[in-house]
Amino acid sequence: MALQWFMAGVVLLAPGAPVLDAPPHPLVIGHRGACAYRPEHTAASYEAAVEAGADYIEPDLVSTKDHVLVVRHENEISQTTDVAVHPEFAARRTTKSVDGRRLTGWFTEDFTLAELRTLRAVERLPALRPQSAAFGGTATIMTFDEVVALARRAGVGVYPETKHPGYFASIGLPLEGVMLATLARYGWTERTDPVFVQSFETANLRALRGRTRLRLIQLLEATGAPRDLVVAGDRRTYRDLATPEGLRQIASYADGIGVHTNLVAPVDARGALGAPTTLVADAHRAGLDVHVWTVRPENAYLPAPFRKGDSAARGYAAAHGDVAGWLARLYGLGVDGVFADDPGAAVRTREALAVRTRDALARPVPVLWPWSLQAPVR
């Protein structure tokens, strides 16, 4: 029997051979800052996100009466400020219809910036976030300008959301022009700049496409439909926009989608995880990035497999579960970014996965020489 040559466990790279791609590096977006630990949309929250290593910080934009953009989760501010304990503003409490919902409270568009500055931010979810609630009453309401200035100093990007853009346009306080002017003052006008502009509505993004080269993100809920489509009598839902045809339409005016995690990794009412969808692959085929929202560390917001502790114990809902495991699952599905209330956990998980990927790529791969595959000579 002639000698058969075989070599394994050896990798030979010829000069000029291609180098393996680097591990993927999804973006970490500090959702309203690091709002798992500090009241959302405050300087302390944004600074905590920066310190945790977030690539972007996310402000929600609403307008004041004097058309200044401030950052609040909603234009109704009774849950995020101490306005209710200010007797001088008691008469401002009112009921309005915002995007088809009847809301009672205090609204930013009924206050000047100077008046809002007399209020203090409070934690929106005090029962679930007592650590953050302890910082309530210590911070003033920030303007968008101040958030952009903070981001520029810190060397991170901004990811503003235009909240209720159709509603604000209907009352003579459109958000988009002031937003673009603010970004331009800080030199951010191009696609290559660290800015994403997001909206749950489609009409304002389509209009923005003709006004700016900044990257635009179409937000998609797991249920319901964009308000502007509803008003126009268009029967398409968010689910319709998440189909291959809907994604191709989005790609005509936006650069990516920001989607509820259920559209990528479904979770049922009991918290059980279902099979992943094809949305990430479908969006990538359409040339769109996929950023998922929102990853929160508390058991109350995690799929059942990632919850920790005794579900019957007091404080179980507020306890932090295996958020790293949930993040790893989402990263593994190929998403391009995550909105995280705990951006530090998102950064640590991303880096741990990157190290594992690099180590795996560096391990020798068995190589069979061509002649080792020939049949032995007898």
Q: Which helix (H) or strand (E) holds 327?
A: helix 323-332
Amino acid, res. 335: V
The three-state secondary structure class of 345 is helix
pLDDT, residue 357, reads 75
- Which sign, positive or negative, has the C-alpha torsion 154, 348, 191, 166? negative
Q: What is the pLDDT of residues 180-234, one digit of tens each?
A: 999 999 999 999 999 999 999 999 999 999 999 999 999 999 999 999 999 999 9
Residue 37: C-alpha distances to residues 27, 126, 243 (Å): 20, 11, 36
Q: Do 123 and 39 touch, CB atoms closer than 8 A?
A: yes
Q: What is the pLDDT of residues 287-325, one digit of tens each?
A: 999 999 999 999 999 999 999 999 999 999 999 999 999
Give the mean pLDDT of the chain.
Answer: 91
The three-state secondary structure class of 192 is coil
Q: Which is it for strands 161-162 and 337-340: parallel, antiparallel or unpaired? A: unpaired
Q: Which is it for strands 157-158 and 27-31: parallel, antiparallel or unpaired? A: unpaired
Region 75-93: what's the mean pLDDT? 98
Judged against a pLDDT cut of 80, whether residue 373 lies above it is answered with no
Closest residue by Cα to residue 39 from 76, 73, 75: 73
Q: Which is it for strands 337-340 and 27-31: parallel, antiparallel or unpaired? A: parallel
Report all structural domains of the chain as residue ranges with CATH numbers, in order of start. Answer: 27-73+128-363 (3.20.20.190)
HEC readout, 34-94: CCCCCCCCCHHHHHHHHHHCCCEEECEEEECCCCCEEECCCCECCCCECHHHCHHHHHHCE
Q: What is the pLDDT of residues 18-67, one digit of tens each?
A: 333 444 689 999 999 999 999 999 999 999 999 999 999 999 999 999 99
- Provide the b/e sequence for 91-121 (b: ≥16 CB within 10 Å): eeeeebebbeeeeebbbbbbbebebbeebbb
Nearest 5°: CA angle at 337, between 190 and 186? 30
Q: Count H helices, E strands: the chain?
A: 13, 13
Residue 147: C-alpha distances to residues 43, 109, 113, 317, 366 (Å): 8, 19, 15, 31, 52
- Which sign, positive or negative, has the C-alpha torsion 251, 256, 258, 261? positive
Q: Where are the alpha helices (DSSP H) in 213-313?
A: 227-232, 238-241, 244-250, 279-285
Judged against a pLDDT cut of 60, whether residue 376 lies above it is answered with no
